[in-house]
């Protein structure tokens, strides 16, 4: 591999790996650095709904990324399966929202944005989702919402990168600082020494703010803990995703049911707690009473990269030429990843961007 690299990508989650993949496909020589194992943090821990939980509550900046990514995912998943033999399992189930306080706003948003979302009577919901609990009075339904099996997605991304001759993948290689020369960022300092490059892309999720602090920059990205639980049921137990009172149930193709999630500001602590377990089980049994007799086969926590309004930072840091950001996606990293990584690639390579990059630019948003 050529040295120095053209690009160093810091962070081996979905955002970092997909950024690396798109840059490598465009011919860039690059090194991807991950402090742990690739895809082992937030990208692995999330639910993988290919939509913001309440898309109408977000700004136009988040909506633009979400719409582009939702249209991209099905073909991308097929291509990844063909290229790597790992199926990310983009599973179109639709999503029912139950007893929303802002149902009217949701329907108005869908009409404005041209998305299929409609009110549906509860008798029809129970007919379509027989395992749904009683006591819910109203529902809206979006039929084309998918979920991606995120542990499979990150496995596929890693396999794709490992097969590329112009990519060097270094796991268990923490970055401790940046190389600055002549007013430019020229690489990073790792536990194994310096890695030099023409450009550095920071995609380190919840850890991105900590890393930029080494340059005296304040990036408003902080860890936000989320806990989830997993049940194993029959393959056809739950035909659709359902969401009520801030909690959701996601069916995988093999009958696993994910229930999530909490929202906790607890620093970098990822310890699962008994309190969250009981709260999630209560939500699970309210949504799907049959889960009362099912075994919890998994309980874990991950750290989301919280950011103001959930608007990610995508683009070059003006005060530090050569340093690029793709981070701060909060609850929507997997949803927004395809568009975010494509936008980053367009900007870094000087191509026409897929959408207006202004809302995501780091300029004026860092302290």
Q: Is the pLDDT of residue 327 over 50?
A: yes
- Name the band, by pLDDT with cuts 50, 70 and 90, for residue 367: confident
pTM: 0.96
Q: 176 phi and psi, to 5 degrees?
A: -110, -10
| Ranges 1-15, 147-161, 239-253, 280-294: which has the least confidence | 1-15
Q: For domain 5-46+153-220+309-360, which architecture applies? A: 3-Layer(bba) Sandwich (3.50)
Least Cα distance to 43 among 64, 14, 8 occurs for 14
Q: Is the pLDDT of residue 113 over 60?
A: yes
Task: Give the CATH number of domain 95-143+222-306; options: 1.10.357.10, 3.30.9.10, 2.60.40.1760, 3.40.50.2300.
Answer: 3.30.9.10
In this structure, what token pair is assigned to residue 180? 């600055």
| Mean pLDDT estimate for the chain | 96
DSSP 30: E
Q: Is the pLDDT of residue 2 over 60?
A: no
Q: Say how far apart CA 158 and CA 220 lie, in whole Å.
A: 28
Name the residue with tokens 């990514």.
Answer: 69
Domain ranges of the chain: 5-46+153-220+309-360, 95-143+222-306
Interval 148-155 mean pLDDT:
97
Q: Write b or e for each residue in 159-194: b if 16 or more Cβ atoms lie within 10 A of its Cβ, otherwise e.
A: ebbeeeeebbbbeebbbeebbeeeeebbbbebeeee
Q: Is the pLDDT of residue 4 over 90?
A: no
Q: Is the pLDDT of residue 67 over 50?
A: yes
Q: Is the pLDDT of residue 1 over 50?
A: no
Is 186 within 8 Å of 5 (Cβ atoms)? no
Encode pLDDT of 82-104 as tens digits.
999 999 999 999 999 999 999 99
Encode pLDDT of 178-200 as tens digits.
999 999 999 999 999 999 999 99
């Amino acid at each position: 591999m050529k040295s120095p690299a053209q690009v160093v990508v810091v962070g081996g989650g979905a955002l970092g790996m997909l950024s690396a993949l798109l840059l490598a496909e465009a011919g860039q020589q690059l090194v991807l650095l991950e402090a742990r194992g690739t895809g082992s943090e937030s990208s692995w821990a999330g639910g993988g709904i290919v939509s913001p939980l309440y898309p109408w509550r977000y700004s136009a900046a988040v909506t633009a990324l979400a719409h582009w990514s939702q249209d991209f995912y099905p073909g991308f998943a097929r291509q990844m399966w063909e290229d790597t033999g790992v199926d990310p399992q983009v599973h179109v189930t639709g999503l029912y929202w139950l007893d929303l306080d802002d149902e009217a706003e949701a329907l108005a948003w869908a009409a404005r944005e041209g998305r299929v979302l409609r009110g549906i009577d509860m008798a029809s919901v129970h007919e379509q989702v027989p395992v749904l609990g009683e006591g819910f009075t109203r529902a809206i339904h979006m039929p084309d919402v998918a979920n991606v099996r995120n542990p499979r997605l990150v496995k596929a991304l890693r396999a794709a990168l490992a097969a590329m001759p112009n990519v060097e993948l270094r796991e268990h290689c923490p970055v401790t600082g940046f190389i600055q020369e002549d007013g430019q960022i020229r690489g990073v300092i790792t536990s194994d020494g310096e890695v030099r490059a023409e450009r550095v892309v920071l995609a380190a999720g919840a850890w991105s703010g900590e890393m930029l602090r080494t340059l005296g920059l304040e990036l408003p990205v902080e860890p936000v803990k989320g806990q989830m639980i997993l049940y194993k049921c029959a393959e056809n137990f739950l035909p659709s995703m359902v969401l009520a009172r801030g909690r959701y149930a996601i069916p995988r193709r093999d009958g696993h049911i994910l229930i999530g999630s909490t929202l906790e500001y607890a620093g970098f602590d990822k310890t699962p707690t008994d309190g969250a377990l009981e709260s999630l089980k209560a939500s699970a049994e309210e949504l799907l009473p049959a889960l009362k007799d099912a075994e919890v086969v998994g309980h874990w926590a991950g750290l989301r990269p919280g950011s103001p309004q959930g608007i990610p930072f995508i683009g070059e840091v003006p005060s530090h030429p050569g340093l690029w950001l793709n981070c701060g996606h909060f609850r929507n990293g997997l949803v927004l990843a395809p568009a975010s990584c494509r936008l980053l690639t367009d900007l870094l390579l000087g191509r026409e961007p897929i959408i207006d990059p202004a809302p995501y630019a780091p300029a004026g948003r860092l302290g």
